[in-house]
A and B are shown apart, each in its own frame.
Chain A
């Protein structure tokens, strides 16, 4: 049996989770900022358009968050190319079976290339899952006032009631979509 190789293998939750949580004290003690990622999207829009009332503020206050997500992109680039040697994500067998029933057959890589692969860019389904899915992420996080980092990690750490409601809604929406709507969209 191959030993757990910390350098090239994915990490179990009990290693990755607490380290991700440590981003909270890092940002608070060294930057006096609360962890979050979704406001970066708003700041990017505000840089491009300042006419809408939602974008009437000093964008300089949001530069730190744009730098933060730029860092996320950079860190992921380095880690994925040099410290992640995985052919297939080791998901549960039951998940794999469920997805095969929905018609997913290629389990190589981080996501199903049948839907997200760059050779499928003429298919309606690919645009629904990418552009459509992205739209719902952007619209939803602004409406809900935060994402999994801001509401999930930071908000729940503060025992914020707003964040409890948001997180429950994320999961209610996600589970409803997975079981009720996804089977119709994935066969398009």
Chain B
């Protein structure tokens, strides 16, 4: 595989290792998080966002380039409050039921729990259904 594509697989592997080591793919941990009974998941979000914010700040402040010398593009996601609220709440429901968000679905698939298969199938079905019904939904 070409290095240009291999690097994304490598960063993905790095992230997958951390999802297991942080236990962010555990249904039990997600229950603990939504019941506000531990700082663990909030500590992960907070410290990760701190590293991310510092990165974004330095890139903007010093117009940093990629390793290959390209300008870094930092597009903000478009503001669509109705979609972000309704979609966000529905995703929150799914997060509780499965104990997973998207990256942990793929991590759980790797651990060998068979339940990851119908979860992934459901997620793809959900994406397909959204694409099919998009024009009828409030945005």
Contact = CB atoms under 8 A, between A and B. Distances in A.
A132 interface: yes
Given A111-B113, A145-B78, A173-B88, A137 B126 contact: yes
A75 B21 CA distance: 11
Nearest to A110: B26
B63 interface: no
Interface in A108-147: 109-112, 115-118, 121, 126-147
B93 A174 contact: yes
A79 B111 CA distance: 9
A130 B137 CA distance: 25
A72 B107 contact: yes
A73 B127 contact: no
Interface in A142-165: 142-163, 165
Contacts of A151: 77
Given A28-B66, A130-B115, A152-B45, A162 B131 contact: no
A61 interface: no
A134 B105 contact: yes
B42 to A, nearest CB: 8
A36 to B, nearest CB: 8
B76 A162 contact: yes
